[in-house]
Amino acid sequence: MAAPSAGYLPALQQKGLMAADRGRRILGVCGMHPDHQETLKKNRVVLAKQLLLSELLEHLLEKDIITLEMRELIQAKVGSFSQNVELLNLLPKRGPQAFDVFCEALHS
């Protein structure tokens, strides 16, 4: 089997760099800022105990932070604590705007 040509190796390296860069961009687009994730984590128990979901879910749905399917998944949980935990599990994966929209919903 022949060794890759000299022109082939830079192309592979370039593809690898582009894939790595694409991975970072996807994480930046899809993931919540680490500071916001930490804030949710530090306040998780209080939020899980005290959130009132009905209006909050509608606000998050209106702003495209959650989908109809996610709302149904949350509401399918038994008890408000379990529903709140499900929301808190989903939020960090819902994009960089999720935290700000969540806070906005809490204030309204």
In tens, the pLDDT along 2-33 reads 444 444 334 334 444 333 334 444 444 468 99
Rounded distance, CA 108 to CA 98, Å? 15
Domain boundaries, the chain: 1-30, 32-107
**Residue 18 is encoded by which pair of tokens?**
């582009």
Q: What is the CATH number of domain 32-107?
A: 1.10.533.10
- With a CB cutoff of 8 Å and minimum separation 6, the contacts of 31 are 92, 93, 95, 96
pTM of the model: 0.72
pLDDT at 47 over 50: yes
